[in-house]
Amino acid sequence: MGIPSIVRGRVLWTIGLSIACSGACFAQDGAQPPAAPQAESPGDDVAAIRDQGQAFVAAFNSQDAKAVAALWTEGGEYVDDSGQRFVGRDAIEQTYAELFANGDVGQMRIMVDSIQMLSPDAAIEDGRAVLDPAPAGAPGYSKYTAVHVKRDGKWLMASVRDSWLKTASTHDKVADLEWLIGTWSAEDRGVTTKSVCRWVANKSFVERQYTTTAPDGTQTSGVQFIGWNPAEQYVQSWNFSPDGGHAVGVWTPLADGWSAEMHGVAGDGATTNSVNLLRRLDDDAYVWQSVGRTYDGQTAPDTDEVVVRRQPSDR
């Protein structure tokens, strides 16, 4: 079985209603009747059900498949946005167990949009769910509808259906950069560089933060953004360093990576030009080299090829 659609944040939640309790007593021999049991208010039940929703979030974030499945009725069902249907606690538990076994799926957050009472023992909830960090693929969120029933005073999910809604983004223009997301390191002649790449702005840009450490321990840092230029219709990058240096790059896809033609200004005001090459070796390594370099109008030597590797903890 493939990874179910819940990996994109499409998950199910608990909501509920309240049952108003009523009672009456008869006074005998002039004695004062005992106080009637206090009725539960709908607000009390809704609050309790919201707490159950947070219990689901806690179970999911701790990757406890059994605790997740326990929030359904025995014959409860979950239908994902592809129409795949999972019926019964055992099937739902197995589905989540397989999902969690595939590794870290991120931390979940939910936003409840509405809770509507259908009867004293049934309710329907509409809401949205997201994962952080966002999973691979086009950005969006899960819109879910959950039907809940009350059994022996406890609210449980009877049926949950969700759909995946895409959000505004230029992610499709830069989706080929997905493999860069993660933490990378490289060493060349005693100089080490560490960079962290992540999606920002609804996955429209890759943000790369980097720190370079010289053999004497001196460090420099900077940030780069890579995204789509809608006016020029190409992938573009923007580099910024603490000394005021900055550069703009035009990215061209290659058979095994990218070529970035860079034009900028150094912190001392000198103009800079280069062509940076990224050649992908596999999911965990790529080769970087800078060629065709000039500094303040003077030709500068090409750099050596440097192998940049994904850090083991990032796999």
pLDDT in tens, 31-44: 444 444 444 566 77
pLDDT the model gives residue 11: 39
Residue closest to 180 by CA, chosen among 43, 55, 310: 310
Are residues 157 and 216 part of one domain?
Answer: no
Q: What is the mean pLDDT of residues 187-193?
A: 92
Q: List the domain range (segments joined by +) for residue 237.
A: 172-314
* Domain at 224, CATH number: 2.40.128.20
161 and 176 together in one domain: no
Q: Across residues 271-281, what is the average pLDDT?
A: 96
For residues 234 and 199, membership in a common domain is answered with yes
Amino acid at 41: S
C-alpha of 38 from chain center? 44
For residue 213, being part of any structural domain is answered with: yes
Top-ranked range on mean pLDDT: pick from 23-32, 46-55, 253-262:
253-262
In the listed set 166, 184, 201, which residue is the last one of a domain according to the structure?
166
Please check whether residue 5 is in contact with residue 75, taking contact to mean a CB–CB distance below 8 angstroms: no
Q: Are 276 and 249 in contact (CB under 8 A)?
A: yes
Question: Residue 302: is its pLDDT beyond 50?
Answer: yes
User: 183 with 133, same domain?
Assistant: no
**DSSP secondary structure code for residue 89 in this structure:** H
Coil, helix or strand at residue 176: helix
Q: Which parts of 230-284 are beta strand (E)?
A: 234-240, 246-254, 257-265, 271-282
Q: What is the mean pLDDT of the chain?
A: 84
Q: What is the predicted pLDDT for the residue at 29? A: 38
Same domain, 109 and 204: no
- Residue 69 placed within a domain: yes
Residues 152 and 91 in one domain: yes
Residue 33: the pLDDT is 41
Indicate whether 12 pLDDT > 70: no
What does the alpha-carbon distance between residue 260 and residue 35 come to, in Å, rounded to a whole number? 79
Residues 219 and 245 in one domain: yes
- CA atoms of 88 and 156, how far apart (whole Å): 12
pLDDT (0 to 100) of residue 135: 77
Residues 86 and 198 in one domain: no
**Domain-embedded: residue 103:** yes
Q: Of the candidates 219, 273, 215, which has an alpha carbon nearest to the alpha carbon of residue 241? A: 219
DSSP 8-state secondary structure symbol assigned to residue 133 = S
Mark whether 147 and 110 lie in a shared domain: yes
Q: How confident is the model at residue 313 (pLDDT cuts 50, 70, 90)?
A: low
Whether residues 265 and 279 share a domain: the answer is yes
Same domain, 14 and 45: yes
pLDDT of res. 265: 96
- Lowest-confidence pick of 4-13, 20-29, 174-183: 20-29
Residue 32 included in any domain: no
User: How much of the chain, in percent, has pLDDT values that exceed 90?
Assistant: 60
Compare 12 and 126 and report the one with higher pLDDT. Answer: 126
Q: Tell me how many domains the chain contains.
A: 2
Choose one of 145, 166, 187: the last residue of a domain: 166
The reported pLDDT for the residue numbered 34 is 44
Alpha-helical runs (H) found in the chain: 42-61, 65-69, 89-101, 171-174
Give the rounded distance of the alpha carbon of 155 from its chain centre. 29
Q: Which of 122, 143, 166 is the last residue of a domain?
A: 166
Q: Give pLDDT tens digits for 90-110.
A: 999 999 999 899 877 889 999
Q: Does residue 152 share a domain with residue 188? A: no
pTM (2 d.p.) = 0.60
Half-sphere exposure of 258 (CA within 13 A, CB side): 20
| SS3 readout for 35-76 | CCCCCCCHHHHHHHHHHHHHHHHHHHHCCCHHHHHCCEEEEE
**Region 109-131: what's the mean pLDDT?**
88
Percent share of the chain, pLDDT over 70: 86
Helices first, then strands: H and E counts in the chain: 4, 17
Segment 184-205 shows an average pLDDT of 93
> Does the pLDDT of residue 22 top 90, yes or no?
no
Query: Residue 30 falls within a domain, yes or no?
Result: no
CATH code, domain with 68: 3.10.450.50
Pair 141, 19: CB distance under 8 Å: no
pLDDT value of position 14? 33
CB 159 within 8 A of CB 45: no
Q: Is 79 inside any structural domain?
A: yes
